[in-house]
A = this chain, B = another copy of it.
Amino acid sequence: MTAVTIQCCAPIAREPLAEHEAAELAVLLKAVADPVRLRLLSMIGSHAGGEACVCDLTGAFDLTAPTISHHLKILRTAGLIDGERRGTWVYYRIVPETVTRLGALFAPLADPAPASGAPVEVEFVST
C-alpha cells in the first residue's frame, strides 16, 4: 500500500488554511502525534543505512508485536515511511519528502512578503 503524496500549504501562519487542506494535514499530523510513532520514526531515520527492520524496533518498546505493527502501518499509510520485505525481514525507511513537508508547514514565521523563493529568515515581532 503506497501512500498519497500531497503537497500543499504555505507555512501555517502565512494564510488561512482551507478546510480540505486542514483535513489532509491533520491526518499526517495525527500520524506523528504519538510517542511511540515519534520514536519509531526517529529510530528508523537515524538507523545505520537509513533503514531498520521491525526486529530492530520492537525491542525498544514495552509493547507487543501487533501493536508496533499497527503503528508502523499508520506511519506507512500517512506516507511517512515505506516498507520493503527482503527475505525474512521487513525493512522500513523514511520518506523524506513527507517529513520535509511537515517541516515547511511550521517554517519560521516571517513577515508576509519575502516574495521570491528566497530562503525565509526568522523574525520575531515584538509586542
Contact = CB atoms under 8 A, between A and B. Distances in A.
A124 B109 contact: no
A18 to B, nearest CB: 8
Interface residues of A, number: 70
Interface of A: 1-3, 7-10, 12-17, 19, 22-23, 25-26, 29-30, 32-36, 38-39, 41-51, 60, 93-94, 96-97, 99-109, 112-127
B93 A120 contact: yes
Contact of A112 (B12, B43, B50): B50
A19 B45 contact: no
Contacts of A44: 13
A33 B33 contact: yes
A41 B12 contact: yes
A33 B42 contact: no
